[in-house]
Structure 1
Amino acid sequence: MRILLVEDDPAQLEPLYAALSQAGHIVDGVEDGETAQWLLSQKEYDLLILDWLLPRVSGLSLCQQFRQAGKTAPVLLLTAKDTTADKVTGLDAGADDYLVKPTDIMELLARVRALGRRSPLWQGDVLRMADLQLHLNSLAVERSNTIVQLSTREFQLLEYFFRHPRQVLTRDQIEEALWEWGTEPESNAVTTLVRRLRQRLQSINTADWIETIYGMGYRLNPPAEEDRGVRSEGLGVSD
């Protein structure tokens, strides 16, 4: 998932950012509400993690503005406010969950997984498409009982394809989705990443599911259910 993490204390932001990134998420981490406000106007996120008390624009205000804009992605509030009245205020502002500081990283990751289960593709801790399974906790892909371990970036790309099946995704869209705010990938980064992912998928005969749409980008195009039994497998696909 792509996550916006907003926490004004660097001592808390950095370990949360590291833990979420190691779990395979693409994380934009910022320290003030104004920057977060700008990012929300520029990017789409699967999950927001907001500290309640932030410089310039509070996390509570960000949550309210996000909902008023018609956005439905889950919001998790982090705060030292722990009274029932505070929790009600946060939930009424549009938050989906509420975590009291100091933040326990294992609990945070569990709540992130729980909020991620809202995806229609989700089945347990696995995303499924046809007979291909993406294991979100172990950064692995499985087909016919064969498991292939992916690098973090390979996993992020395949998850992005999973969440946009049969949709043509341009290189710019992939860069925007996979690289954190403020980083600049090399010009051939997407092409190289797609090639590496296809190489990984060859061992489970799904490399050809990733199609190159010349002049446009790439598409994950799994076989229709009725065609799976006769589909040719193991075909190489060029970049």
Structure 2
Amino acid sequence: MILALPHVVWGARKLWVLWGLSTLSVQSIGQTLNQFRAVLLDLDADLTRDGLRHLYALGVEPLRIVDDLSQCQAHVRRFSANAVVLVPPSGPVDAHHPVLAVRALIGPDLGLCIVLRENLAEREEELLAGGGDIVLSLDGEAARQRARLAALTRRLQESVVTPASEDLYLDSRARQAFLEGRPLPLTDRLFWVLEFMVKHPAQVLTPEDFCAMLAAKGVHIQALSTPNLIHRLRRILEKYGMGDRIHSVHKRGYRWDDPDAFPSSQRSKADKFFTVNMDWHRGNFS
């Protein structure tokens, strides 16, 4: 009995390690999906209720819901979305299918996720060939769909050049920012701070948020060092007429303001409308 005890202990430790790895994987997917910033283009009113419920269950919350293709690009630009979730009408995938129009509209750099009621292999192949990145179905396995969404999100985060505003572009691999085609003199830390802010426009980021972001990249700083980084970044941006993009929020943190995406005179009104709109959707589809 005593001789068997080490085997019991080893078996318990092995199970604990396996459980920890699976938990870490689930947490990693959840953290990745937080960066999936999508506008939902709803072209099938009959699927809206179930489609939204399915997205919420997967851990995805659309930034805005629109039902017209002409509004899609404007809202992608306004909310700095990195993907579009398309709920297409039922029917064959032909030359007039909206997946082709959406892909042509958003370009190759943004993700295109398509939601279907049923998992039809033939239609999925046609939609992927038409420009979709992934196809989700209401009857599909949730864990697998979450993993596919996370993989797409990671690919979007690693895209070479990301338009941050009308004239500002970020090259994530080279850690370089370009304004009107001219490179900005940024260190790696300052580039990461700038990238972090422009990917979360109109959102107040605390010093702890910046510390956590830099720690994930192997750079460890104290929260008290954040104002110095922001000051250095702001001075560089001021030379290019963009110093007012970084807004200090008293006793809270910093916010990236993009006047091209949100006119300052309409920001509070738009933020209020967005909050009420999403609360309405939660109330009706919960």
TM tier relative to shorter chain? 0.3 to 0.5
Q: By percentage of residues, which structure has more strand? A: 1
* Higher-helix-fraction structure: 2
Larger Rg: 2
